[in-house]
């Protein structure tokens, strides 16, 4: 989730002419990317959560395996949860306060969070039930149904 999200910021910045000054994508630290100057910070900032959801969903639809949907569904709920929790924390270095400072409409963030957390919860819950349900002798979950 953090990799595709942060790569989204990098791609968004490149697309709108921002200069990438520093970044870190190492998985055991909090990833970040810094752009300066950034002529269109809203594009750079929104590209993270949008591509952080779109890339895994597109990959899962191409791969067409249950494990790929599990990862994609986690990315959907995690991106929405991140924006919601970043808003609550108010930490000025996190995406939501930066989106608001750059002029994003609060309603757009609320809609994004409702859609991603809502859909992500339903899809990821289904995935968890599938993978954590008791199995039959054939190795399949006892009442498994494909969600997609």
Segment 54-78, tens digit of pLDDT: 999 999 999 999 999 999 999 999 9
Cβ-Cβ contacts under 8 Å for 50 (sequence gap 6 or more): 8
* CB-neighbour burial class of residue 12 (10 A; exposed 0-12, middle 13-18, buried 19+): buried
pLDDT grade for 95, boundaries at 50, 70 and 90: very high
pLDDT at 138 over 80: no
Check residues 8 and 27 and name the one with the higher pLDDT: 8
Q: What is the average pLDDT score of the chain?
A: 93
Whether 79 and 49 have beta carbons less than 8 Å apart is answered as yes
* CB-neighbour burial class of residue 94 (10 A; exposed 0-12, middle 13-18, buried 19+): middle
Q: What is the pLDDT of residue 139?
A: 65
Using the Cα atoms of residue 121, residue 69, residue 115 and residue 16 in order, give the sign of their dihedral. positive
- Average pLDDT in the 81-97 region? 96
Pairing mode, strands 32-35 and 20-24: antiparallel
The rounded percent of the chain whose pLDDT value lies above 90 is: 85
Whether 34 and 20 have beta carbons less than 8 Å apart is answered as yes
pLDDT at 144 over 60: no
Check residues 69 and 141 and name the one with the higher pLDDT: 69
* CB-neighbour burial class of residue 49 (10 A; exposed 0-12, middle 13-18, buried 19+): buried
């Amino acid at each position: 989730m953090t990799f595709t999200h942060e790569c989204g910021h990098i791609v968004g910045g490149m697309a709108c002419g921002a200069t990438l000054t520093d970044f870190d994508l190492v998985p055991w630290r909090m990833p970040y990317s810094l752009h300066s100057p950034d002529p269109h910070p809203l594009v750079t900032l929104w590209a993270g959560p949008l591509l952080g959801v779109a890339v895994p969903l597109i990959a899962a639809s191409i791969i067409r395996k249950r494990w790929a949907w599990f990862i994609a569904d986690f990315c959907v709920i995690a991106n929405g949860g991140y924006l919601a929790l970043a808003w609550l924390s108010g930490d000025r270095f996190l995406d939501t306060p930066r989106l608001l400072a750059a002029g994003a409409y609060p309603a757009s963030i609320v809609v994004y969070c409702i859609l991603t957390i809502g859909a992500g919860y339903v899809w990821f819950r289904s995935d968890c039930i599938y993978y954590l349900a008791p199995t039959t002798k054939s190795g399949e979950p006892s009442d498994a149904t494909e969600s997609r």
